Amino acid sequence: MSMNKFPCVLIYSCSDDDPLKTIKLIRDEENIQVSNYEGNILSNCWTIDCKYYTADINLCTSNNLNELSEQFIHNVNAIIILFNIEKSNMIEIMDKCLPVVKQSQAEVLILLSEKKIDEMSTNVNSNTIFEWCRKNNFELIVLDEIADEMDTTGIERVRQALYAHHWPNLKAKCQITHPSTKAVIEDTVINSQLSGELSDLKMDTEQDTDLFSEMFEVDNDFFKTIDKVRKLKEKISAMPDEERKDAAEKALTESWKAFFGEDVDF
């Protein structure tokens, strides 16, 4: 398959941050090979090789969204927007990315900040950023945020979101149709830190509850389950900290019941 046929991750900078730096962080490599995909698009080919599948994808950057071809946008499965909270016109700049987001129908949407959002040192109200993420189904990730035992943050969270996506060209190493064994739980929930993904959840609408119930249908395979977890989080991300605890407890309880049965003790 030609490199131009691989699904793509578009990394676009709304700030002075270099997208190539983000690609190096994702790959955890300082020396990467970059080629010209088409037009003003630079690309780095990356083979995702995890326990369950392999997939060849392109990590791409462009400095002009207006020059992206329809074919390229069609191949975009994930979009990562780099932003600087200290810029006063940040929301306006981010809004200019939305036409490409909608045209691409990308399922992994990440707003990536170099620094933690501090209300006292920014020109943009933090709630405005959270609302933008909620409205446009983006996940806000901060690079310098420190993870706790139940959460994944920074570039590790970016990698996790990319690993969890069901890439159209993935080659499965095994078939999982009913994740009910302890070994699978350890790999998909603990090692992938699925509990960390669920820690930001808040189920407060009928639509979210329906999606949560659907997520644990017994005929779902591994990739669909992980993908629905991510979509559920995106729908209700960026909620205040005080509202997350009850939702996280409910989500984790239902997760264990789905995997181990109703009789499990908590």
Quick: pLDDT tens for 205-259. 444 444 445 544 444 455 555 555 665 565 545 555 556 556 655 665 666 555 5
Claim to verify: residue 125 and residue 181 sit in the same structural domain: no
Claim to verify: residue 17 and residue 129 sit in the same structural domain: yes
The two structure tokens encoding residue 265? 């003790």
Claim to verify: residue 99 and residue 190 sit in the same structural domain: no
Q: What is the CA radius of gyration of the chain?
A: 19
Q: Which long-range contacts (CB under 8 A, 24 or more apart) does 181-184 make?
A: 184/222, 184/259
**pLDDT tens readout for residues 65-74:** 999 999 999 9
**pLDDT tens readout for residues 140-160:** 998 876 655 556 778 999 999
C-alpha 145/C-alpha 63 separation (Å) is 27
Claim to verify: residue 181 and residue 160 sit in the same structural domain: no
Claim to verify: residue 90 and residue 209 sit in the same structural domain: no
Is 159 within 8 Å of 194 (Cβ atoms)? no
**Boundary residue ending a domain (164, 189, 211):** 164
Structural domain total, the chain: 2
C-alpha 10/C-alpha 81 separation (Å) is 8
Claim to verify: residue 36 and residue 137 sit in the same structural domain: yes
C-alpha 141/C-alpha 31 separation (Å) is 24
In this predicted structure, the answer to whether residue 115 has a pLDDT above a threshold of 70 is yes
Give 243-265 as a DSSP string.
Answer: GHHHHHHHHHHHHHHHHH-TT--
Q: What is the pTM of this model?
A: 0.66
Kindly give the pairing relationship between strand 41-49 and strand 53-61.
antiparallel
Range of the domain at 236: 175-260
